[in-house]
């Protein structure tokens, strides 16, 4: 016998009240799925990418990407900092990267044509790590499903549910295709990513420079901000430029403490 709808609604209301958390930037969010289940989702999606034949056979550039990622990961809060992270270079001409719950990072080879140096690459990877630390994928899962459905998806990432799973994680049904988070999530990841850059010894000014490169190459052109899921590129550049001066003392302290990434 199925529970009466009123009981289901009451149970859901209690679950929502119990599931309110706060992001590192202080924003309230609703999380109805556990970190363990999100890690399982991330591993499923990442394994699909690895088995799709899209990993780049370029050891030198893979080491470069890993070097930048490792420097940033060392500045993440626990337990993420101590987690075992897997970093992959993906043979794809689009200027993209992603990070998934469970310690997974993917960087497209096309991004290395736009991110001109280690600092600019750190801006992108740091941003993607910001999504993970803020639990944006879990928030999106929670918004999309009730708690019971979210757990079913976490435990059954096959067949018709796979496309939905990837979309909630920020990936397309075709492995490696990046789907946008909300503007709110993107802006929050920008703030955290730029902070991680400075703490790791990467120049926070490079975040705005990276987006200037994106715009110059046409990758940053988008529909007007008010109907876009991403922040407008020019507005994003202005925000990142405005935030950089306050982060320079953090950057200088990191360099003085010996955090001087030399990724080439």
Domain assignment present for residue 216? The answer is yes
Which band of pLDDT confidence, cut at 50, 70 and 90, is reported for residue 180?
Answer: low
Q: For residue 223, is pLDDT > 70?
A: no
Distance CA(96)–CA(111), nearest Å, equals 6
Domain assignment present for residue 261? The answer is no
Domain assignment present for residue 2? The answer is no
Q: Dig out the tokens for 235 from the structure.
A: 């507005």
pLDDT tens, position by position, 91-126: 999 999 999 999 999 999 999 999 999 999 999 999
pLDDT at 172: 56
- Domain limits at 153? 20-256
Q: Which of 30-34, 40-44, 164-168, 203-207 has the lowest mean pLDDT?
A: 164-168
Which carries the bigger pLDDT value, residue 152 or residue 109?
A: 109
**Which parts of 51-122 are beta strand (E)?**
86-90, 97-100, 104-108
Mean per-residue pLDDT over the chain, rounded: 82
pLDDT at 154: 52
Domain assignment present for residue 67? The answer is yes
Domain assignment present for residue 165? The answer is yes
Domain assignment present for residue 9? The answer is no
Place of tokens 């060392």: 74
pLDDT at 60: 98
**Which parts of the chain are beta strand (E)?**
20-22, 28-30, 86-90, 97-100, 104-108
Selecting among 78, 86, 128, 186, the annotated active-site residue is: 128
Domain count, the chain: 1
Distance CA(233)–CA(225), nearest Å, equals 9
Question: Quick one: angle between helices 206-216 and 233-256, nearest 10?
Answer: 150
Domain assignment present for residue 140? The answer is yes
Domain assignment present for residue 14? The answer is no
Q: What is the strand order of the sheet 86-90 is part of?
A: 86-90, 104-108, 97-100
Q: Are 164 and 141 in contact (CB under 8 A)?
A: no
Distance CA(245)–CA(63), nearest Å, equals 30
pLDDT tens, position by position, 9-18: 344 444 444 4
Q: pTM for this structure?
A: 0.81
Which carries the bigger pLDDT value, residue 81 or residue 54?
A: 81
Catalytic residue at 188? no
């Amino acid at each position: 016998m199925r529970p009466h709808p009123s009981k289901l609604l009451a149970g859901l209301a209690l679950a929502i009240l119990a599931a309110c958390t706060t992001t590192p930037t202080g924003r309230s969010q609703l999380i109805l799925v556990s970190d363990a289940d999100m890690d399982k989702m991330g591993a499923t999606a990442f394994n699909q990418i690895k088995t799709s034949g899209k990993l780049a056979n370029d050891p030198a550039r893979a080491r470069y990407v890993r070097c930048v990622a490792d420097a940033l990961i060392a500045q993440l809060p626990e337990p993420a900092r101590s987690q075992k992270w897997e970093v992959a270079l993906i043979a794809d001409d689009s200027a993209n990267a992603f990070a998934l719950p469970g310690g997974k990072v993917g960087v497209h080879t096309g991004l290395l044509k736009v991110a001109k140096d280690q600092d600019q690459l750190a801006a992108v990877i740091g941003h993607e790590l910001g999504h993970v630390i803020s639990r944006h994928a879990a928030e999106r899962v929670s918004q999309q499903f009730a708690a019971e459905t979210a757990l079913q998806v976490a435990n059954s990432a096959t067949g018709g549910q796979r496309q939905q799973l990837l979309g909630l994680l920020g990936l397309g049904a075709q492995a490696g295709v990046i789907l946008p988070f909300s503007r709110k999530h993107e802006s929050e990841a920008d703030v955290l990513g730029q902070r991680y850059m400075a703490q790791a010894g990467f120049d926070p000014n490079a975040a705005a420079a990276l987006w200037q490169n994106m715009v110059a190459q046409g990758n940053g052109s988008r529909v007007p901000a008010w109907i876009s899921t991403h922040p407008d590129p020019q507005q994003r550049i202005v925000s990142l430029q405005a935030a950089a001066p306050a982060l320079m003392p953090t950057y200088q302290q990191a360099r003085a403490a010996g955090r001087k990434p030399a990724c080439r």
